[in-house]
Structure 1
């Protein structure tokens, strides 16, 4: 065992979890070496090999080989992944043993089977983890049973518009009303499961929620290969397409925001309003020419109950 009062610590000395394998003597030409003394090359009881200055080695009796690493508040996040990957195996085992005592609770979304369903532009391909845990509640992480883990399913999804894939936990597929306070109080209906390849308004989330809950086959951002905008460059997109069970299109839906009726600075003002009117007319003409009913929901009806009544009136939902 190690006796810190000794001037020289021989090879084979064990101090806490560390055993000395070799000693690198002080390099008198190196200022750091002169200050901190010899370097002790050690092996931890977990199997990791570490090197510590004499000061670090004798500072205290070590429980873990990485416990002397100290981070400032700013650098803690930057080095979080590195520290986790290089954490002492003894500490990792101790943490896992402690976490095993935490309560496990199935999230309310766990019972749902979402494989094969559509959520906005996301196709839910498969469940890649049916026991995905996240620490949700903490009482005292230093004690046994000091936290609660929620268990979710983790799904692999693919956007049918851009083909990008991502993994999303089951609880994020809900479409939620605005909260009474906080960030979500100002943005209407929302969902955490979506693809960032296209913007989605609160208005569109309301329609999506109603179509999903009523089992209506649909697609978002529907385009046709021969329908271009006024500039003849980009394809125009309808907000929603409603389909029958055979995959044939039955109708189209447009959520017409304020910018479809008057200039709005946020959407390009007068110039963009002129282009918007032309594009809207092109969409109406195309739908009429191809015998596809087009239903436009005005922004003044952008309330859940009014949108629901509109869709029932048009017999899109029953």
Structure 2
């Protein structure tokens, strides 16, 4: 397993402009910013706006205002995923022509129905993307042997068996360096066994219908394009990292070091979401709190 170690350290914060930033976002952004500053490195802001139906200019403006108020500074121009669609299409085309993708017409309801059908007493398996896809569409639709490019009116899934076969012996060496900790306390050198990818991830979506990409594909391509060496994010994304390491190997991309951190939760122990407007940074600003107050509320040390 290999990790990117080139200097300078480059951290990034990559929110989606689909709602207000809350305390959890502030904790993650400040953690990455502090790490970059301590290493004398770079800090980047990336706007993950591929979901054009939900992204709003006012939310993007609010993100910049909140982060600046917290004391964060970042390089410009800011990268927006909506400007990167050609890069995502090129990567998908390459994977398609290698026979690693297939078209899928299944809806969420179709997947739930297939997963709940009797499977010799087996319980449905949940992975980083929810229910593990049962492979219903594998082989159902024309592939690269008859279509030079993938259809645009269906989702595209990565065939996990074909992907692992394409890596050959390298599949046994997949892994990453964890500088923080996963939800089970995982830290240090983390292996990504092929069996785990097959059984707990399955054939993941790399391009959603109407979007032209997915979180998994865009995040690994964007991190590589921006020279990101360290990825700071919540422990809820720890399971997705094994998918990202696989894609980095398939696409010949460097593997950053990862720092997964604890989640900020509400009084009931639930992780914060954008629906938690009561914990929105803009409301704390309006109430007269200071950036130092936000640091104390999230358990971060005072700014140096």
Q: Please identify which structure carries the higher helix content.
A: 2
Determine which structure has more spread, i.e. the larger CA radius of gyration: 1
How does the TM-score come out when normalised to structure 1? 0.22
How does the TM-score come out when normalised to structure 2? 0.23
Q: Which has the higher contact order (CA 8 A, sep 6+)?
A: 2
Q: Please identify which structure carries the higher strand content.
A: 1
